[in-house]
Amino acid sequence: MLYPAIEPYRHGMLDTGDGHQIYWELCGNPQGKPAVFLHGGPGSGCAPVHRQLFDPQRYNVLLLDQRGCGRSEPHASLANNTTWHLVSDMERLRTDVMGVERWLVFGGSWGSTLALAYAQQHPEHVSEIIVRGIFGLRRAELQWFYQEGASWLFPDHWEAYIAPIPLDERDDMIAAYHKRLTSSDPVEQLRAAKTWSRWEDSTITLMPSPRHQQSHAADRAALAFARIENHYFVNGGFMEEGQLIRDAYKLHGIPGTIVQGRYDICTPARTAWELHRAWPQAQFHLIPDAGHAFDEPGTLAKLIEATDSYAAQ
């Protein structure tokens, strides 16, 4: 279902002016429909396969590695790294790199969070929205996956996740991991990062996927993913509780597509359903045989269908 693999026709680094260098790349047709792809995590970075979600003849797609991850520098940095810094980076890239008034915004998982935050702040610059695996970054969502809930479905992986944390700290696993991920001891940081990353990578698909379980196996990838993700979660995404669903009315008038796996354990379907109710104009697809990953067949089919449908608009 994916389009053929392609290479960027242009790439560079954006100097944010506050200590970060953001890697960006442009792919597809320079005269095509403008779009931006937002990766998950936060802290995952983009992969070449993400370029293949868009028809390269009809789209001009900007992909970026958000602050502190992927090819951006400084690696795994938490300084000046908030949702609103990332929204500002997107605006700089839209104006300074693409030079367009509006673009399609595509994001999955944490990318859906960032896509909604951006679109609610800059609706005039969004032509369409495609979001997948909806993550509202609310306290209940974080508690479900990192404290109580998903553990009932994956007790084996959960046991490995809690193993490094002493019993007297397990009442707040996010805080316990934060302590270790920001430790002055690089060995402790990496140990915590690997364990944190394995928990998510082991629960991301409906059926076990060895490939997904190795998503953040490399030391560098695990450290950025775990440190940045945990930093955002400790700080509630730097948003007010429930902000993205509360402010979904700001999306009215923007064409949109919501794709959600029914058996998504990382970001359960309730949030996607609530977004659907708050933004009824968007097309809503609840995939009956999918978990969280973008490339599970039913989810991927709807994402490609969405990018194809908006290509001519």
The set of catalytic residues is 109, 264, 292
Q: Name the helix (H) or strand (E) containing 212.
A: helix 210-213
Pairing type for strands 256-261 and 126-132 reads parallel
Closest CA to 13 of 1, 26, 4, 22: 22
Backbone angles phi, psi at 221, to 5 degrees: -65, -45
Q: From the CA atom positions of the chain, what is the Rg in Å? A: 18
In this structure, how many other beta carbons lie within 10 angstroms of the beta carbon of residue 186? 10
How far apart CA 219 and CA 245 sit, in angstroms, is 35
How far apart CA 40 and CA 112 sit, in angstroms, is 8
How far apart CA 164 and CA 197 sit, in angstroms, is 13
**Burial track 11-32 (b if 16+ CB lie within 10 A, e otherwise):** eeebebeeebebbbbbbbbeeb
Axis-axis angle for helices 186-201, 173-181 (nearest 10) = 140
CA atoms within 13 A on the CB side of 43: 27
